[in-house]
């Protein structure tokens, strides 16, 4: 958490910032590469960007943002799959549209900072 929020502070605390950054980038790259084969680049891009963006508008800090982003991502998939089944639309775009709607809703209920 310290490395992603404030690399300078993490460096002062003695954390291996370069190694942790490299590990984070490699894990993200592997996740995207594997998931791209399964669900496609549009869905992976949407689920990597929209839930954290929605959570940012609603959260107080990084840990709360991660938890809210997880919930938003899960809700996007569940409601998107439901919409796909209900209205006989493709699953991927239905999930992306749901994530977009949740992002727009988060902007409506933005926390006062």
Mean pLDDT of each 10-residue bin along the chain, 113 residues long: 86 92 92 84 90 93 93 96 95 94 92 60
The pLDDT assigned to 36 comes to 83
Do 33 and 44 share a structural domain?
Answer: no
Do 62 and 84 share a structural domain?
Answer: yes
Q: What tokens were used for 20?
A: 């942790």
Do 57 and 24 share a structural domain?
Answer: no
Q: What tokens were used for 64?
A: 């709360």
d(CA 113, CA 99): 24
**What's the 3-state SS for 26-78?**
HHHHHHHHHHHHHHCHHHHHHHHHHHHHHHHHHCCCHHHHHHHHHHHHHHHHH
The pLDDT assigned to 66 comes to 93
Domain count, the chain: 2
Do 55 and 107 share a structural domain?
Answer: yes
Do 98 and 69 share a structural domain?
Answer: yes
Do 51 and 30 share a structural domain?
Answer: no
Do 50 and 22 share a structural domain?
Answer: no
Do 84 and 45 share a structural domain?
Answer: yes
Do 83 and 32 share a structural domain?
Answer: no
For residue 51, give the nearest of 32, 35, 71, 23 by alpha carbon: 71
- Are the beta carbons of 98 and 86 closer than 8 angstroms? no
The pLDDT assigned to 83 comes to 96
Do 98 and 59 share a structural domain?
Answer: yes
């Amino acid at each position: 958490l310290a490395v992603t929020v404030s690399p300078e502070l993490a460096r002062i605390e003695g954390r291996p910032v370069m190694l942790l950054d490299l590990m984070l980038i490699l894990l993200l790259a592997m996740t995207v590469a594997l998931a791209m084969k399964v669900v496609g680049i549009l869905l992976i891009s949407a689920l990597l960007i929209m839930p954290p963006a929605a959570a940012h508008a609603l959260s107080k800090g990084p840990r709360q943002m991660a938890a809210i982003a997880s919930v938003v991502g899960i809700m996007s998939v569940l409601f998107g799959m439901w919409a796909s089944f209900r209205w006989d639309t493709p699953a991927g775009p239905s999930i992306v549209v749901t994530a977009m709607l949740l992002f727009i809703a988060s902007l409506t209920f933005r926390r006062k900072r």
